[in-house]
Each structure stands twice: as structure tokens, then as C-alpha cells.
Structure 1
């Protein structure tokens, strides 16, 4: 950019000199035309010299323009190179900066590796703790299940005991009722036998009073028993019910 500016300034100066030369030439030509010609003086000599200088200046100006264009191209190319070099310099700086951070990066990687190993150990410890917690939970559930089953069994046992007691009470009441009925029946039978014996005794007594002797009753004596010889034999069904009731009393 500095080279382009320098050529632009140089080109402007050449254009100013060229304009000044053209103005002087026009003034000299005008003055020559207005004045009387001088004898023995070659007026065209200055014109030729000025023309030569003008031509030379034009060539210099053209060369300067070409050089300026070339310089502009070179400057543009240099700018590209500068941009590329700057980019490369930045890349090199970044690379150097990265290289400088390599030890820190290695240390960070080492620290991360240690952290990962520590995390792995913590995960293993956590898995072991979870397994132990799972086992404890299963054991607690089993213990709670046993407690619940024992409680249910106790309630069921109490219910069955209550039901058994109720059944025993009912059977005892039924048995007592049957025994009472049986005793009433046997008492009626005893009363009937007693009445029969009383009637036979009175008959024998009347016969003795009348005839002075007792009636020979060998056959009837075998059939009729005294009150002391009479045994009360319970019914077989009542005996079984009584035995069943007595056995039920030993049930827990």
C-alpha cells in the first residue's frame, strides 16, 4: 500500500510538470505570434527542445504509469503474500501456543485418567453397596413376610381355637342334653321296673297271706332282677360322642 501511494504521488508530480510545460509553451507561442519576428534568430529551436522535453516527459509519464500499474499489481500481490504470511504467522503462533500448552494438556489428560479410575472404583463400590442393599432389602422383606405369616397364623390359630371352643361348648351342651334325656329315660325305666317289682311283691305278699306260702317263681326270678343288680348302660352313640368330646379337649 505504501508503494502504491508513492507511485501515485510521483505520477501527480509528473502531470503537474507536464501541465506547466504545456502552459509555458502556449505562452511562448502566443508571445511569438503577437510580437514582431526577430531576424537571425531560430525561433523553432526552443520549440523543438521543449517538444523533445515534452515527448521525453510523456514517455516518462507513460513509463511511470506502467510502473505504477506494475507496482500496484506487485503491491496487490505483496498484500496477498502479506495476508498469507500473516495467516501463517498466526497459525505458527497458535501452533506454538498449543505446543506450549501440551504439558498442561498432558497433565490434564493424566488428571482426567486418574479421575476416571477413581470414578470407576467409586462405581464398583456403589454397585457392591447396591447389591448389599438389595440383599438386605430381600432379607427384610423375608423377615417381614415371616412376621406377617406368623401373625396371620396366630390369628388363624386363635380363630380356630375360638371355633373349637365354640364347638366344644356346643358338643358339651348337646352331650349334656343327651345325658339328661338318657337319665330321664332310664329313670322312667327304673320307675316302671320299680312299680313292676312293687306290684309283684304285693302280689306275693297277698298270696302268702292267703295261702301261707310263697309262689314258686323260678322262671320269673331269672327274668326279674333286684334294684341293686340293675346297671345303667349308656347308648353306643352317646358313648362315642362322649369319647369324641374327651379327645377334643386335648387338641391345641
Structure 2
């Protein structure tokens, strides 16, 4: 598929698709039955809400780019497939929060053009906050431009992280890193949605965020949001692309070196 795509126009259309899926999730949250939970693995839960939201997203996005490929969390399109344009989707990032009635969960949609992120949308359902980014076109929250925080040092920063829930082989290293961040920041928060963590770095609410054992659908849209808002996103110990690297450090750029140094001191 070779075609010219207006990514700005497309990003608005993607935001509407994400909002529709979010409206369904919000509707289902009111009477959600925890008896309808399935387990994909240890502590890894999925519900009919995740699956139906993903079907809605895939259907809407296919209308926008009919020959595109898909990388999705719930596999409702079968095996992941790459194409010139590939959608990377998490239909309900923060499933555990949703299942337990906690308010932070999101829809995350990104578009990869060959090997470059070009569109990213994160819709935080509970607060009705739609974050949108276009490569080279900036980042927005409900259509207002956003920028990362200007806090210059880590000891005045609030940072976010996530906890491992199924793969614990690096947990001792992680706890050492976490302890050092607790000592050297204004605080550490665990929100429960990687997409929201990254969106909140982009919006200047957090100065930084770090987590490991992540998948591309957890972080794709958020990576573009942070970058377009003036931030920096890398892997833990390297400056390589974190999209498929399973680990992310995101920041307002100013505290990035300090964050990576803490991780480097304890991460084996």
C-alpha cells in the first residue's frame, strides 16, 4: 500500500474512534460483572470489555486505512501483522484497575509508518481526557497544546513507575532502583496504565516514568506523545528505540540523565 496520508487529519479521526471505544468501556464499567473475567496468564486478566473494545477499534481503524496491519493486545484480528502502515492497539490499558473499579484506565492507539511512529492517541476514560500527537506536529490534550515539565532536577520531580505482575526475574534489581528513586525524588507513583503514565509525562504532571516488562501496545502512543511534547524516551541503559525493547525511561529531557544513571547503578 503506497498512499499519501494526512497524519494530522488522521489523528483527529483516530481520536474519535478511541473516544467511541472509551464510551463503550465507560458504559460497561457501571455494571461490570467480575465473574466474566478470563486469565491469560499469571495475574494477567482480560474481560469481554477489552475484547469488544478492541473489535470496535480494529473495525474503525480499518475504515481509515483498509490495507493496514495490526499489532493488538487481545489478538481479536488473529496473528499480528506488519504492513507499510501498522496500528498498535491496547483497547483497555489498565484492565486490573477497571476490573477493581479504580478510575485510571485508557484506550491506546498508535500508527507505525514502516518503522516510525507517526500518530498516537491515548484516551483516559474516567477523566474524559484525549491525548493526541502527530510526528512533527506537537502533542495535545483535548485539543490544547501540551508540553513536558520544566523542572530541572530529579530531587524536585514526581516520577511514575509500574510493578511486575507475572515475570519477576528482575524484581530484586527493580526494588533497588525503586528505593533509590524514592530517596531522590519528590515521590513515586504507580498509576496502573503505562499509556497514561506516558501521557502524564507529556502533559507535565510527571517529570519522569520508568518500567520494564512492557509490550509495544502499552507504550507506542505514549512514546510519541512524550517526544512531541518535548520529552525524551529511551530504553533503560541505552538510547535505542524503546518501542519493542520491553523497557522504557521517559522524561521531560532535563532529568533523563539522572534517571538513567540511577537505573545504571543497580540494573544488571
Q: Return the structure number with greater helix share.
A: 1
Q: TM-score range by the shorter chain?
A: under 0.3
Q: Normalising by structure 1, what TM-score?
A: 0.17
Larger Cα Rg: Structure 1 or Structure 2?
1
Structure ranking higher on relative contact order (CA contacts 8 Å, 6+ apart): 1
